[in-house]
Amino acid sequence: MLSNVTLCLSRRVAALVHRGGTSGPGGLVRAAAVCCSHQQQQQRSFSTEPAGVRVLYDGLCPICVTEIRFLQYLQKKQPRKVDFIDISLPGYDGAKYRDVSYEMAMEEMHVIDETDKVHRGVPAFAVMYGAVGLGWLGRFMMWAPVRPFMANSYAIFAKNRLKWTGRGDECSAGRCEKKTP
């Protein structure tokens, strides 16, 4: 933030000098006041804006939940950069998330980026990893020599994840329901 204030201040001073304004103490104080108020407004707006990336995940999938918890841990220093939306909760409404229905989200990973574009499958992982600081991993997954392998591996996982996590019977029709012992 200090470098932003310094940059802002130097631009204001340069503008004052260019316009023939005073670059004396009064001009500097006015420039600093403008910069500081601009920085404060900018900081307030960051904390009130919605998250840039929305990750739709199955909160009843133990593999998915483990990965999401790790990603949440990674983004602790950047709160609200990524929202993790559990599609397994009763109140999930696909209309709020670019019309990604529960059924669509259960078939494969969906991520909505900052521009409101929906990404599915391996590209969704690339966007999600980039948002939490693992951009190198996302770029590797999307790299032309690696992407077919990743796409095929993920397709196999997505098709079998319910069975592999012991939830095949719970999800035979409609929404998955966690069995109670």
Residue 88 lies in a domain: yes
Q: Where are the beta strands (DSSP E) in the chain?
A: 53-57, 82-86, 110-112, 118-120
Q: Which two tokens stand for residue 89?
A: 């909760």
Range of the domain at 60: 53-164
Number of alpha helices (DSSP H) and beta strands (DSSP E) in the chain: 7, 4
Chain segment 146-174, per-residue pLDDT in tens: 999 999 999 999 999 999 988 877 665 55
Point out the domain boundary residue: 48, 67, 84.
Answer: 48
31-41 burial: b if 16+ Cβ within 10 Å, else e: beeebeeeeee
pLDDT in tens, 103-119: 999 999 999 999 999 99
pLDDT in tens, 90-101: 999 999 999 999
The answer to whether residues 24 and 113 belong to one domain is no
Q: Determine the Cα–Cα distance for residues 54 and 50; give it in Å rounded to an integer.
A: 10
Residue 80 has pLDDT above 60, yes or no: yes
Domain count, the chain: 2
Question: 75 lies in a domain?
Answer: yes
Structure tokens at 126: 């690339």
- Same domain? For 136 and 112 the reply is yes
Q: Are 99 and 60 found together in one domain?
A: yes
Return the top range by mean pLDDT from 32-41, 46-55, 69-78. 69-78
